[in-house]
Amino acid sequence: MSSLEVRELSVSFGGVRAVDAVTLTAEAGKLTGLIGPNGAGKTTLLDACTGFVSARGEVRLGGERIDRSPAYRRARKGLVRTFQTLDLFDDLTVGDNVAAGTPPEGRRRWWHQLSAMPSAASPAVREALETVGLDGCAALFPGQLSQGQRSLVSLARALIAGPDVLLLDEPAAGLDSHESDELGERLAAIRDKGTTILLVEHDMGLVLGHCDHVHVLDGGRMLASGTPEQVRENPAVRAAYLGEVTEEAGRESAQ
């Protein structure tokens, strides 16, 4: 199992500091949440970790510094992510979309070794789809699925890449509350099989109900970190999300 460590990471776009000297850790074998208001810098942080935007600071995967590596090398080392824009191949079946996530070289897989790209009907593809709750959907096309189901196809495609650390960008988008809770249970099961997960999500029930640890960004800076209960009761977090203004929240935000 590998951890993901971010140290003093900063991203600027012109004169705008989207991520401002953020330090956080997604501990090995844990499901870690990353939350914050819209525009807090959550997706930009994922982009910086995976090499899709230029950044200052350090990114370490399993203790190895990877911030000088291009995106494809970070992925080959085991840092895999999903995107808010799913970019599925609408002319391919769901099974073929998932199979397309297999890396070109044989590296350690999430559940077993693969030496070549699996077919849409392979056990690896079936297991990935079963893991995300899309049993029996391999022969369908993305256009036949709901938006929430399409998001789960993206998750299955990430799983077949055999991640050591999996970064998820709002996988519950389009899911109802029941489906979101089921997703949380599935993510916990993926974690229990040895995959470290950093989850960016707006569904607070999913994050607070299933994550081991939670980080909170606001305005590109780290606002709070702790257990779900600690984050839920943090006055500064409540102020950022709910607009609550208290003397204690003001003191914590100023620190």
Encode pLDDT of 35-90 as tens digits. 999 999 999 999 999 999 999 999 999 999 999 999 999 999 999 999 988 889 99
* pLDDT value of position 233: 92
Q: Are residues 146 and 36 in the same domain?
A: no
**Domain range for 104:** 92-162
pLDDT in tens, 167-201: 999 999 888 888 899 999 999 999 999 999 999 99
Give Cα 148 to chain centroid, integer Å.
16
Q: Are residues 14 and 109 in the same domain?
A: no
Residue 83 lies in a domain: no
Residue 198 lies in a domain: yes
* pLDDT value of position 105: 56
Angle between helices 177-192 and 147-159 (to 10 degrees): 0
pTM: 0.87
Domain count, the chain: 2
233 by Cβ neighbours in 10 Å (0-12 / 13-18 / 19+) ranks as exposed
Confidence of residue 115 (pLDDT cuts 50, 70, 90): very low
Q: Does residue 56 contact residue 223 with C-beta atoms inside 8 Å?
A: no
Q: Are residues 6 and 72 in the same domain?
A: yes
Which of 22-26, 58-62, 185-189, 238-242 is the least confident region? 238-242
Confidence of residue 251 (pLDDT cuts 50, 70, 90): low
Residue 84 lies in a domain: no
pLDDT in tens, 126-160: 999 999 989 889 999 999 998 889 989 999 999 99
Which of 70, 51, 49 lies closest to 61 in space, CA to CA? 49
